[in-house]
Amino acid sequence: MLPIRSLLAGLFALALYATPALAAERAIIILDGSGSMWAQIDGEARISIARKTLDKVLAGVPDDLELGLMVYGHREKGDCNDIELLVPPAADSAEAIGKAAAGVSPKGKTPISEAVKLAAEGLNYTEDKATVILITDGLETCEADPCALASSLEGQGIDFTTHVVGFGLTDEEGRQVACLAENTGGKYIAAGDEDALTDALTSTVAEVTAPAEPEPAPAPAEPAAVEFNFVPEVVLAEGETSIDDDAEIVWEIYKANADGSEGEYVLTDYGPRYKGNLEPGNYVVRSSIGYARIAMPVSIEAGAVATPFFVLNAGKLVIRPLPSEGAEPSDAAAVFTEFPGGDSTTSYGVTTLWVPAGETSITVTLGSGTASDAVAVKASETVSRDIVVGVGLAAVNAYYIEGMKVEDSNLFMEVLAAKKDIQGNRERITYAYGADASFELPPGDYVLASTVGGAALETPFTVMSGERTDVTAVLGAGVVAIAAPGAEKLEVFGATKDIQGNRKSFTYGYGGELQTTLAAGDYVIVATPAEGEAKELPITVTAGERLEVTVE
């Protein structure tokens, strides 16, 4: 098996070089920046693999090739308009694209259709040749029809093409986005089966880049012995005789090696009523629906029809991740599913999967909450399972005084376990910066540690499953703005000395200005110049008020 980075390098290379005239054209790469790009392959996040692969592939791109980079889902959660052209198409843009991709932090939705439309318009597709290269690890999540869009762009464009790289998509998911490529004359490439994909890429590149040759004279027609010589049948469970016409069946056909193992890739097709014609010989045929699959040897003989019967032993599993009992499913919940046989996948929100019969393990995470379950699914059965994470919402804010919210971006809100360990320390649960933070937490007792400048406060609170808890931390603090012309360092100490004669340091800064937040009380400012003696100034801070002082 090839390393995933090598595989992706091949995918990008195909998409970038599949059209020989591309060097004279302009193209935009669309990179998926949705939240699912944090999912891992072999211990590494998909976004990290994509960044490295982009750098590797773009290093070999000719300088005169005009490329741009567009990203979606990288700035806001739940926003279908979160699409941004980070690098406009330009020659010698490889370094700029690499730097832009390195700054992408996935978090939002997957507006595939709108992104492709904007990229096409940015390339002036109705007047000029245009190529869009889409790299996605998920399906459209913004109520649009990619297939219809592709047909519309193809009809209006001069010579418009979309290539689609399905990164980590299942066969079922890949089929749903492949139409973007197929309807515009492009290529859909799945990063699923690495060996087969390598063979497919090799033959496809050779076909696309080969110079055109005159078509050979037609050979004399020979009467066909049969219309189709390969007519497979497939069912979900033993004892069944048929399957729904809309079942999303995938057929993968390989030549058989001498030992009966899979050899050279032949083709992929779809649908429960698939029929085909194969050259006489021995094959290995895979039939699959979702994550359930079976492989069988098939022999094709001249003049005969092969009718193998495939039993997928598959059922449908619907997973509904609930924050609490009676709540609506959460789109933010991550659903990790491990199937019989060892395959696994991660999805978000309500998840529907075709799975092998047997026990499927499910783990759902939402905020700091986690819930696990094992669900037995029988062949041809549909099982719906609610997984209740059991979290409540803690909405937190800090105030200088009652009614005066702290809007400082330096405000640090940390949630700690209420119970201390034997060393007197509390477990850190989660944290956030700035005002109006919220945390999804399992039921229990917690402490909110609020810190801004030199002011700090611990506020205990309790979370109940399915309930909102508003946590208000009233710091009893004010803001101090200090000016000390010529000072090299400013430091604020408590006014009272301890038994050793030392004063507690609350905050400090360098230069002649310092603004900070302090709890109400008495303090001493110490201004230290580069040369000479330090100067001290006592101050009194009043909660909810601003104090401006100058140390002469």
pLDDT digits (tens, 9 = 90+) for 113-152: 999 999 999 999 989 888 899 999 889 999 889 999 999 9
How far apart are the C-alpha atoms of 336 and 347, rounded to whole Å?
7
CATH number attached to the domain at 233-311: 2.60.40
CA distance 300 to 306: 6
Q: Pairing state of beta strands 513-519 and 444-452?
A: unpaired
Closest CA to 288 of 267, 272, 264: 272
Distance (Å, rounded) from C-alpha 294 to C-alpha 286? 6
Q: Residue 512 is which amino acid?
A: G
Mean pLDDT estimate for the chain = 88
Instruction: Give the Cα separation of 325 and 125 in Å (integer).
Output: 50
When pLDDT is averaged across residues 442-457 and rounded to a whole number, the result is: 96
State pLDDT tens for residues 67-78.
999 999 999 988
The CATH code for residues 4-209 is 3.40.50.410
CA distances for 252 relative to 248, 295, 429, 446, 515, angstroms = 13, 9, 47, 54, 67
Helix (H) or strand (E) holding 235: strand 233-235
Domain boundaries, the chain: 4-209, 233-311, 317-388, 392-474, 477-550
Whole-angstrom Cα Rg for the chain: 31
Q: Are 74 and 26 in contact (CB under 8 A)?
A: no
Band the pLDDT of 89: cuts 50, 70, 90: very high
Q: Specify the CATH number of the domain 317-388.
A: 2.60.40
One fold for both 233-311 and 392-474?
A: yes
The region of weakest confidence among 5-9, 360-364, 424-428 is 5-9
Which H or E run includes 99? helix 94-102
Q: What tens digit of pLDDT does each residue of 388-420 get?
A: 999 999 999 999 999 999 999 999 999 999 999
Angular region, 6: left φ>0, alpha ψ -120 to 50, beta rest: alpha
What are 37's two structure tokens?
């790009």
Question: Are 375 and 386 a contacting pair, CB within 8 Å?
Answer: no
Give pTM, 2 decimals: 0.54
Contact 294, 284 (CB under 8 A): no
CATH class, range 477-550: mainly beta
Query: Is 380 within 8 Å of 236 (Cβ atoms)?
Result: yes
What superfamily does domain 392-474 belong to in CATH? Carboxypeptidase-like, regulatory domain (2.60.40.1120)
Q: Contact at 8 Å (CB) between 354 and 421?
A: no
CA of 89: how far to CAs of 25, 44, 112, 114, 471, in Å? 10, 30, 19, 18, 49
- What pLDDT sits at residue 217? 60
